[in-house]
Structure formats: structure tokens, C-alpha cells
Amino acid sequence: MSESEFHETPDEDLVERVESISDEEAEQRATALEAGLESYELEDEDRALLRAYGFEEDEDEALGAAPVLAVVGRPNVGKSTLVNRILGRREAVVEDVPGVTRDRVSYRAEWNTKEFTLVDTGGWDQDSKGMASRIAIQSEVAVDMADAVLLVVDATTGPTSTDEMVVKMLRRKKKPVLLAANKVDDERGELMAAELWGLGLGQPWTVSALHGRGVADLLDEVLTILPEVSAVDTRVEEGGPRRVALVGRPNVGKSSLLNQLIGSDRVLVDNVAGTTRDPVDELIELGDKQWRFVDTAGIRRRAHQASGADFYAALRTQTALERAEVALVLMEVQDPLSEQDVRIVTTAVEAGRAVVL
């Protein structure tokens, strides 16, 4: 809401409430709001105080307001490493093992002042079975919901049959596609990447996600294929929805609950504990208001002893909890309350979050 719009439609009750606050209290309240509550939905009178004392509100835009770029490719070609390089921080869980990324996960990215949504996906493999097959389905859904696609391949191995199958899938989707030839660190890698012209996607943009080589040129090209506003994702977030973190032991049904709430298979569900690693969020309308539900990795009994992807997944879960206002703790009804359940509830309480069991 702009300042002019705010003053054009004054609310008499709001004006009365604001005028009843003393100058000293109003200044303290506005300062506190600006300092520590940027992630929360503000009441109208608090917004008025911020405006009156010269504070600017941060616009909490929805991920869907910006164009969407899906990052796809077969397993272990460096998609998540490239995502982290583009973001300039370590967000996506990375490990030198195929299949670390399982759900599609969205991040806000920016290049040359243009914002866009970056969607990291699991490895795509048409011949996969079980959980790997569902990961591939999530990747295709990400392509369907994207304005453009960045296909990442391993330049050191040349085009594989799986790469060719991914290209066929992308042709069916009829989305703009850029080809990123990853793991190119020298001139020898540049020569090897030339083989990728055979995929029929035009110029392979050679990059080293690990060292940053060529990523700037790739992003310049990305901006040329992205629209100004997303044509596929039209969700709009007004006022900032409340955030609810779904937490609990591994395999208690957090992802199943989120899928049930949104009415689709948004998050991978499997009987194997630890299926979710990156926090996955979704906007859900409850009581005429939007809420952001965040599915998290299960909190393990000894998270401090975890290593690799599980260790970083635990950190992501803790961060998601810190950013949430409500912790929805799931437990197994047929099992007695365990020490681990108590520890999880205690963690949520100590974080100062409202807790729902």
C-alpha cells in the first residue's frame, strides 16, 4: 500500500486508536516495530505509526510475483551448487552424492537489480523407480510452474542418454531453455563442452558452479529469457502471511499433512525417514487469511552428531523454526511420548514460538 492510498481511505476507528496513543509511547512503539518485527504481519495502527515517524515498510512480496526460473538436470550435475552460487549464499543442501535434493525448493534471487524466483529441483531420471521416480515428477512440476528453464549438465562427461531424455521432456513443455555446461574450470573443459551442442539447445553456457567461473555471463543471458512478471505463478501475498513450521521426528507425517492441507502431492512422501531435507513452503488459505506452512526435515535424536546433508538439513529446520510464528509439532499417536518429542517441543518453546501439538 502506498502512502497516498493509505491517506485516501482513512478508517475512523483506526484514527481514533492512533490518536489515543501518547507521543512517547508512539515513538517507542514505532521504533520497536521497525527494529524487530519486519517478518510479522502488522496491524493497521502499527503501520500508521511507522509512516508517521518516517519509517519505511519493507514490501513482503510473494515468490510468485517475480518470474520463475527452474533449475533442472539429471542427478549430481551440480544444480544445487549452481543455485547457491547464484544466490551468493549456501541455501540448498549440497553433497557429492546423487539425489541429495528431493523436493522442489524456491528461493528469491536477484541479478542486476532484477528479481526472480529460483527453483532448485531433484535429479530427473525417466527410468527411476520408487522415491527417485517421485523426485523426477517433482522436477517436471517445477518446469510446468516456471517461466523459463536452466538445464544443467556435466561438461566433463559429455551428453548422456539421460541428458537427452531431459531435453525431450523440456521440448514437450515448450518453455525457453538455457543450457548450462557445469564443471568447466579451464580451456580443456571448454573443448569438452563443445560436444553439448549436439543436444540441440543452442550455445552451452560454460560455468564452474564451484568456483563461480562464467556464472555472471550465464545470468546476463537468463535475464534475456525471463519475462518482467511471471506468466505462470500468480500468487500474491498481501500484508505478509503468518508462518507455521511443521516440525517433529523423522517420518511422523509432516509432509503428508502439508499435502493434505493443500490438496496435492506438493512434498515427497515415503516410508523412509528423512525424505524431506530442504524446508518446503506453501501458501494455504484458512479463515479467509493466507498462512505460509513450512515443511521441515525431521529433527533427529542426535542432530549434533549428524554429518553431510543431514547436518545441513537440521540447520535448515532450525532456521525455519526461528522464522516461523507458530510451531506445529507432530507426534505418533500410537507411540508413547518420547524424550525426542519433549526435546522438540522444548526447542520450539525456547524459540518463543506458539506451539500446537
For 84-99, write each residue's pLDDT tens digit. 888 886 555 444 433 4
Mean pLDDT, the chain, rounded, equals 70
Q: Is the dihedral of CA 312, 313, 314, 315 positive or negative?
A: positive
Look at residue 316 in the predicted model and tell me its pLDDT.
Answer: 61
Reading the block at residue 52, the C-alpha cell is 508517521
What is the rounded distance in angstroms from the CA atom of residue 122 to the CA atom of residue 311? 19
The residue among 256 and 82 whose pLDDT is bigger is 82
Q: How many residues are present in the chain?
A: 357
**Residues 175/147, Cβ–Cβ less than 8 Å:** yes
Task: Grade residue 221 by pLDDT with cuts at 50, 70 and 90.
Answer: very high
Mean pLDDT value across residues 278-282: 62
Say which range, 28-42, 60-74, 197-211, 338-352, has the weakest mean pLDDT.
28-42
The top-scoring range by mean pLDDT among 75-79, 202-206, 227-231, 347-351 is 202-206
Look at residue 111 in the predicted model and tell me its pLDDT.
Answer: 92
Mean pLDDT value across residues 148-154: 91
What is the percent of the chain with per-residue pLDDT over 90, rounded to a whole number?
Answer: 10
Task: Grade residue 214 by pLDDT with cuts at 50, 70 and 90.
Answer: very high
Asked if residue 241 has pLDDT above 70, the reply is no
Contacts 24+ apart (CB under 8 A), 91-98: 92/120, 92/278, 93/277, 93/278, 93/309, 93/312, 93/313, 93/316, 94/309, 94/312, 95/308, 95/309, 97/308, 97/309, 98/123
Task: Grade residue 300 by pLDDT with cuts at 50, 70 and 90.
Answer: low
Tell if the pTM clears 0.85, that is, is over it. Answer: no
The residue among 306 and 105 whose pLDDT is bigger is 105
What is the rounded distance in angstroms from the CA atom of residue 20 to the CA atom of residue 291? 31
SS3 40: coil
Q: Which residues pair with 277 in a beta bridge?
A: none
Asked if residue 9 has pLDDT above 90, the reply is no
Say which range, 226-235, 264-273, 330-339, has the weakest mean pLDDT.
264-273
Residue 304, phi-psi category: left (phi > 0), alpha (psi -120 to 50), beta (remainder): alpha
Spatial neighbors of 324 by CB under 8 A, at least 6 apart, are 243, 244, 245, 294, 353
- Alpha-carbon Rg for the chain in angstroms: 23
Mean pLDDT value across residues 120-128: 65
Mean pLDDT value across residues 57-61: 45
Task: Grade residue 148 by pLDDT with cuts at 50, 70 and 90.
Answer: very high
Look at residue 334 in the predicted model and tell me its pLDDT.
Answer: 80
Beta-strand relationship, 114-120 and 68-72: parallel
